[in-house]
Amino acid sequence: MSEKIIEVSRLRKSYKENQVLKDVSFTIHRGSIFALLGSNGAGKTTVIKILSTLLKADSGSATINGFDVTKSGDNVRECISLTGQFVAVDEVLTGRENLNLIGQLKHLPNVKKTVNEWLSFSNLEDVANRRVSTYSGGMRRRLDIAMSLMGNPDVLFLDEPTTGLDPQNRIAMWNLVKDLAKKGTTVFLTTQYLEEAENLADGIAILHNGKIIAEGTPQHLKEIMPKKGVRLNFDSDIKANIAIKTLAQNGISADSIEQNSLSLEEVFLTLIDEKKEVCKHEEI
């Protein structure tokens, strides 16, 4: 097991009377892709803001690379980068100029070489000298992430990185995220797309009603759910038509039986519904 790079314990955060985070705990291992799932308003962005030192928790603790996010904010900011929900690029400048500006602000050595490397990594070489105002949504998002990666942060936070992208650009973004993890970057992403989490994440946590209600690998989350029955396969339509009423009585056996496999979306919806039912009983 690789070392833990992010450790979160019992985070709480309220906005006036609205308690957004009630008791949030999870861990993330170095070099992994971690997805935080939750409905709109679940508190996903609030978690990212706390971990990236943009917001203080009311209580609880969180460390990144061994640094406390509250007590050692400067150290934390040295080893992280954040790409928010909205693309933050200068549309008047070219893609190359945007990257060059970040490189200079961070006082990186050999900025020109670094800019060329990230243009190549992001598949933006062909449009590097075009103004960003002419870029598609997918190009802008890739440039935004490349700008965040200047300086090779240990942890990259991606807050709903593929919202608004078409299917082709979403897949391109998935490939970019996978390549980042291969290079050793720890990726923390929030998403509403269950398919996205299933395709990308090594670890997943589901945030609901201010708490983490499930955590683990996609496969683990599927395995903890009760199975939804089995599928029977018959070698003729006749058998299939009479099976429901006469299978047992007539000794007709299925040619094969396979266990139904839940999708991550089904797991998510089932867990959310179960928690809603618990809350209703508690209120009663």
User: Residue 111 contacts by C-beta under 8 Å, 6 or more apart in sequence?
Assistant: 100, 103, 104
The confidence score (pLDDT) of residue 280 equals 45
Q: Is residue 177 within 8 Å of 209, Cβ to Cβ?
A: no
Scan for tokens 């070219």, then name that residue.
94
For 269, what's the count of Cα atoms within 13 Å in the CB-facing half-sphere? 7
Q: Is residue 148 within 8 Å of 156, Cβ to Cβ?
A: yes
The confidence score (pLDDT) of residue 166 equals 83
Residue 236 DSSP code: S
Give the pairing type, strands 67-68 and 80-83. unpaired
Please name the CATH architecture into which domain 4-222 falls. 3-Layer(aba) Sandwich (3.40)
Q: In terms of Cα–Cα distance, which of 21, 1, 14, 19 is closest to 205? A: 21
Handedness of CA 72, 77, 83, 87 (dihedral sign): positive
Q: Is residue 3 within 8 Å of 29, Cβ to Cβ?
A: yes
Q: Is residue 87 within 8 Å of 141, Cβ to Cβ?
A: yes
Calculate the alpha carbon distances from 238 to 46, 144, 243, 246, 247 in Å.
57, 59, 8, 12, 12
89-36-39 Cα angle (round to 5): 90
Give the pairing type, strands 230-233 and 59-64. unpaired
The confidence score (pLDDT) of residue 236 equals 75
CA 131 to chain centre: 30
Calculate the alpha carbon distances from 194 to 69, 75, 206 in Å.
29, 33, 11
The confidence score (pLDDT) of residue 281 equals 42
CA 95 to chain centre: 26
Distance CA 200, CA 190 (A): 11
User: pLDDT of 166-186, one tens digit each?
Assistant: 888 888 888 888 988 998 999
Give the pairing type, strands 33-37 and 186-191. parallel
The confidence score (pLDDT) of residue 261 equals 57
Instruction: Kindly list the domain boundaries of the chain, sorted by start residue.
Output: 4-222, 224-283
Distance CA 55, CA 77 (A): 13
Residue stretches of the chain with pLDDT short of 50: 1, 277-284
Q: Is residue 26 within 8 Å of 8, Cβ to Cβ?
A: yes
